[in-house]
Amino acid sequence: MNELTDWQFRDARTVWHPYTQQQDWLSDNPLVIERAEGVWLTDVSGRRYLDACGSLWVTTYQHADPRLKAAVSRQLEALDHSTFFGATHTPGIRLAERLVELAPSGEGDDRRLTRVFFGSDGASVVDAALKLAYQFSVQSGRPRDLILHLENSFHGDSIAASSIMGGRQSQSTYGPLLLNTHRTTSPAPADGLDPAQAAARALDDLERVLADCHQRCCALIVEAMIQAAGGMLPYHPSFLQGCRELADRYGFLLICDEIAAGVARTGQMWATEHAGIVPDIMLCGKGLTGGVLPMSALLTGDHVADAFTSPDTTKTFFHGHTYAANPLACAVALENLAMAEELDLPAVARAKGAVLGALLEPLAKHRAVRDVRRLGVMTGIELAASLPRAGFRVCAAAQERGVWMRSLGDVLVIMPPLAITEEELAQLTAVVEASLEDVFGG
């Protein structure tokens, strides 16, 4: 037995993987990764794979970045972990200050995101945001328990986050456990509508829903500018502007989930900046530490936080995660944000995204491709799926050719680390094209 298959067998005996039917696991020939550097992953048998999805959207710039590694080592010498419950620490304070400085500020909107609550992964701050929005409504004297979300949305896999998932398997499987929420139309282009029309239709539908239920609605949660796990579906910024206006008109909180799109990859530091609005609550996660350590953060403004500051202890926000604001994660997030500024990563995402877009242009005409969509480097290639598991099969073919990709159903996802060179982008798109031929025939 070679080394790879030995590790695969050991894995299959003991490990249970996320979103994985273990029955098929071994026959799907999973990669067993041992090292990573730049945009390349290396498996236990020494084969290299281009990491086309930034290790599921976390690797902002590159693997094994010397600055990020040095930041973790320095912090490890000083302080490994110390709790945020009842005490604080310097890397946590610094990171909160930095996030507030970097937070979006809209023109003509004096709302500012001035307060940071740390979580440990994306779903933990999604839960925090929903509890916060509900409690805010109660403490502002207008108790409201309904949360609105969008079709095609994804906000994580906790029970609360599963309750605001836009119509996927887990909603039917876990239905009886979920919160009472209401789903409204996605602003992503569909049914022959262009982006502006699709955004207008979604806003009309949202307004109609609100006409019925605005007195019960405490929050609307949306993925900023692109519905990522729903199939890489970018939408028109007028939708976010309309949501901002409706939130102000009806007095609910607008929560922008930037967990996938935040930190440069859409071509702006925060995706909401494409729309020039300031949400009431902003969530970030995935790319915050550049892909080194799990960490997430919730940002909100004084207009929300003030309702929690009171001599009445029942007005406390009763939420917290043990590893929140882990000092190593804070230190590496600070360094990652410094890199984002110094290397102007939003501009890098715009430039590399444009190169990727040009390289993919011929593919858009491929008979097996229905649509190619992109915002910055966040890219989806929707297959005209005439085969079962078409997305998976193209990814498996790409793996044979040295590219690691993951599909969302029939959508191939490309979201490379921003250090990828133009040469590597060309290599990547050539492999995607060859893999389509492998699966759909020449």
Strand pairing report for 40-43 and 33-37: antiparallel
Sole window of 154-162, 194-202, 351-359, 403-411 interacting with ligand PLP (rule: CB under 6 A): 154-162
Which CB sits closer to ligand PLP, 154 or 404? 154
Contact between residue 259 and residue 296 where contact means Cβ atoms under 8 Å apart: yes
One symbol per residue from 162 to 201: x for binding ligand PLP (CB under 6 A), - otherwise; what is it? Answer: ----------------------------------------
- 123 lines the binding site for ligand PLP (CB under 6 A): yes
Q: Applying CB under 6 A, does 285 fall inside the site for ligand PLP?
A: yes
Sign of the alpha-carbon torsion through 235, 238, 244, 247: negative
Binder of ligand PLP out of 50, 95, 116, 126 (CB under 6 A): 126
Is 128 near ligand PLP (CB under 6 A)?
Answer: no
Closer residue to ligand PLP (CB): 216 or 373:
373
242 binds ligand PLP (CB under 6 A): no
Q: Does 260 bind ligand PLP (CB under 6 A)?
A: yes
Strands 233-234 and 226-227: antiparallel
Give the three-class secondary structure for 61: coil
Q: Hey, how many other C-beta atoms are within 10 angstroms of the C-beta on 157?
A: 17
The reply on whether position 155 binds ligand PLP by CB under 6 A is: yes
- Find the part of the chain contacting ligand PLP (CB under 6 A) among 150-158, 193-201, 245-253, 316-324: 150-158
Cα separation, 30 vs 396, whole angstroms: 9
Residue 211 half-sphere exposure toward CB, CA atoms < 13 A: 6
Give the whole-angstrom CA distance, residue 420 versus residue 367: 28
Question: In this chain, which stretch among 2-10, 41-49, 121-129, 165-173 interacts with ligand PLP, using CB under 6 A?
Answer: 121-129
E strands present in 38-102: 40-43, 48-51
Q: Is 320 annotated as a binding residue?
A: yes
The DSSP symbol for 140 reads: T
Give the range of 122-130, 185-193, 212-220, 361-369 binding ligand PLP by CB under 6 A: 122-130
Classify strands 48-51 and 403-404 as parallel, antiparallel or unpaired. Answer: parallel
Q: Which amino acid, residue 8?
A: Q
CA distance 102 to 119: 18
Of the two residues 156 and 380, which places its CB atom closer to ligand PLP in the complex?
156
In terms of CB distance, is 260 or 383 closer to ligand PLP? 260
Q: Which is nearer to ligand PLP, 68 or 232 (CB)?
A: 232
CA distance 329 to 339: 15
Interface pick for ligand PLP out of 92, 104, 156, 353 (rule CB under 6 A) = 156
321 marked as part of a ligand binding site: yes
Is-contact 271 224, C-beta < 8 A?
yes
Strand partners, 254: 220
Torsion of CA 431, 435, 438, 442, to 10 degrees: -70
CB of 126 to ligand PLP, least distance (A): 6
Judged by CB under 6 A, the residue of 65, 223, 273, 410 near ligand PLP is 223
The span from the CA of 204 to the CA of 308, in Å, is 33
Residue 438 vs residues 148, 251, 365: alpha-carbon distances, Å: 42, 53, 17
Determine phi and psi for 325, rounding to 5 degrees: 60, 30
CA distance 211 to 56: 38
Q: Does 228 bind ligand PLP (CB under 6 A)?
A: yes
149 annotated ligand-binding residue:
no
| Minimum separation from the CB atom of position 266 to ligand PLP (A) | 12
The nearer residue to ligand PLP, 287 or 301, going by C-beta atoms, is 287
Which of 91, 122, 187, 353 binds ligand PLP (CB under 6 A)? It is 122
Residue 262 in marked binding region? no
CA atoms within 13 A on the CB side of 368: 21
CB of 56 to ligand PLP, least distance (A): 8
128 or 359: CB nearest ligand PLP: 128
As given in the structure block, the two tokens for residue 8 are 């695969």
Residue 259, interface with ligand PLP (CB under 6 A)? yes
Point out the annotated binding site for pyridoxal 5'-phosphate: 122-123, 257, 321-322
Point out the annotated binding site: 122-123, 257, 286, 320-322, 406
* Site of interaction with ligand PLP (CB under 6 A): 121-123, 126, 154-156, 223, 228-229, 257, 259-260, 285-286
